[in-house]
Amino acid sequence: MDYSMLVVTCPDRKVAETIADRIVRDRLAACGSVTTSVTSIYRWKGRMRRDSEVILFLKTRRRLVSACVDAVRSLHPYEVPEVIALPIASGFPAYLSWVSDETRAPPRRRRG
């Protein structure tokens, strides 16, 4: 299981596309796919909520999940964004190879 898919709910398409663009541009994920609108029903701070959202799917390598989560958190407007990483158990080998080719770890920061 060297690959993961992140599921991220966003308030709208613009936010989802902005996050996907940055994460793919930075090569933390190979692809970001944005859904059409969904209705989310949940409890937040003691109150029932019903909101229209979109779902962003990010395909990446397992070792890049933490960097993706950090990037989503820095770009997302929600106080507590939904970011869930799911392992990809298997898939079309050529696609998974492409995911590897299109992603790379962010440069390490120098200590000093």
pLDDT band at residue 87 using 50, 70 and 90 as cut-offs: very high
63 secondary structure, DSSP code: G
pLDDT at residue 112, rounded to an integer: 56
Mean predicted lDDT score pLDDT of the chain? 95
Model confidence over 12-45: pLDDT tens digits?
999 999 999 999 999 999 999 999 999 999 999 9
pLDDT at residue 111, rounded to an integer: 61
pLDDT band at residue 67 using 50, 70 and 90 as cut-offs: very high
Question: Would you put residue 78 in left (φ > 0), alpha (ψ -120 to 50) or beta?
Answer: beta
Domains of the chain: 3-101 (3.30.70.120)
